[in-house]
Structure 1
Amino acid sequence: MSDERSSNYGLGEILTNGIALIYTKLFWRKARLIRLPIRVRGKQCMSYGTGFTVGYSCRIEMNGVKAKAKLIIGDNCVIGDYAHIVANYKVVIGSGVLMASRVFITDTHHGNYSDKSEDSLPIVPPNKRPLHYKEVSIGDNVWLGENVSILPGVSIGDGCIIGANAVVTKNIPKNSIAAGNPAKVIKKYDLKLDKWI
């Protein structure tokens, strides 16, 4: 099967990408292409592998205590336009991950809603509630569709596909396709049969 993808960039986008390539080589040396604009808070708290590619208008935040390895991104990870990643505690993204546009990943909650908490009552404004964190992990070769949201504490296994508009609130086992809100597994890859079932 041949790969028929080709570049159909117009002159304006060629120039924009040329500027982005210069920016990438100056400030993101291991990356393939960091398209502008990009907003990164706490860049010293992240690590990324070779081939890292980012679409237009992405926002990456690592607020709070400055510590290495709050956001770890593997090799050949591609993040689509308008993605937003919040890694105030720890987010790990594997190698070969492909994210469509408007993907949201966070390890942070404004408040604690798992038990009775005086500081997370509805009468307390959300931005006054204390932050709570849970690590997020995304395996290798995962494909996140358009508008996917991944919430704190979630682990997504290797080889998964998360359908467009899914809200992932619970762990997804490796080699699964999940969709919906909340996301549920709708198919798994059977290694013995060598097909999706």
Structure 2
Amino acid sequence: MSFFKRYTFLQLLSLVFCKIRTRFIFENARIIRFPIDIRGKKFIKVSKGFTTGVGCRIEAYPENNQTTLFFGENFQMNDYVHITAMKKVHIGNNVLIASKVYISDCSHGSYAGNQDDSNPNSIPKDRPLYSKSVIIEDNVWIGEFVSILPGVTIGKGTIIGANSVVSKSLPENVIAVGSPAKAIKQFDFEIQQWVKI
């Protein structure tokens, strides 16, 4: 299908406007669709080919004035994605994220079941922020409405099904679904097929 057949004239004008404006936001980006909410821009590293949908929110609130949010090459996120980094969120190359996805390395309070736990009688917004790095490796595909929580690593080539909550790390080359997300298939390179686990 021709590029010009996919968009109306007004949509094409909007894309041209976004393309020009993108150069002033992140020089390496392919296209940023506006509106977008960027907080802590100087702590965010964007690589070549960065692409967004509309209504995205990306934010970095580092504890030590260092870059905490990293986007690899050819990264694409669709509409209304929210990514926040306090310690480290590192997203690899060729990662595709569907719409309405939430990724965060931090939360208001700790709930790990140890001496650092937050008291439920305290006000949630006043609880100390707790942070643990999130790593998303190359060639990962994340479906609609997925939430990725602090301390998670998602292995290379993995696919996360829509509406999943990723609260524990996932290995390479699996399809994971559910809340909490669990691997249900793995790619068998010998037969070149996805097989049930």
Question: Does the residue aligned with 1:25 lie in a helix, a strand or coil?
Answer: helix
- 1:172 Cα deviation from its structure 2 partner: 0.7
**Stretch moving more, 138-147 or 57-66:** 57-66
Distance 1:48 1:81 in 2: 18
Amino acid in the other structure paired with 2:120: P
**Matched residues, percent identical?**
46
Q: How many residues align structurally?
A: 194
Aligned match for 1:41, one of 34, 39, 42: 39
Deviation per CA, 1:47-71: give whole Å up to 9, x if none.
Answer: 1110000110100111254633201
Let me know the Cα RMSD of the aligned residues: 1.6
Contact 1:31 1:51 in 2 (8 A): yes
Structure 1 residues 184 and 70: CA distance shift in structure 2, 3 A: same
Structure 1 residues 66 and 38: CA distance shift in structure 2, 3 A: farther
Distance 1:182 1:27 in 2: 36
Contact 2:62 2:68 in 1 (8 A): no
1:193 and 2:154 matched: no
**Stretch moving more, 11-20 or 94-103:** 11-20
Equivalent residue, structure 2, for 1:98: 96
Equivalent residue, structure 1, for 2:81: 83
Distance 1:19 1:64 in 2: 31
Query: Structure 1 length normalisation: TM-score?
Result: 0.93
- 1:119 Cα deviation from its structure 2 partner: 6.5
Runs of 4+ aligned structure 1 residues displaced above 4 Å come to 4-7, 116-119
Unaligned runs of 5+ in 2: none
**Stretch moving more, 39-48 or 4-13:** 4-13
Unaligned runs of 5+ in 1: none
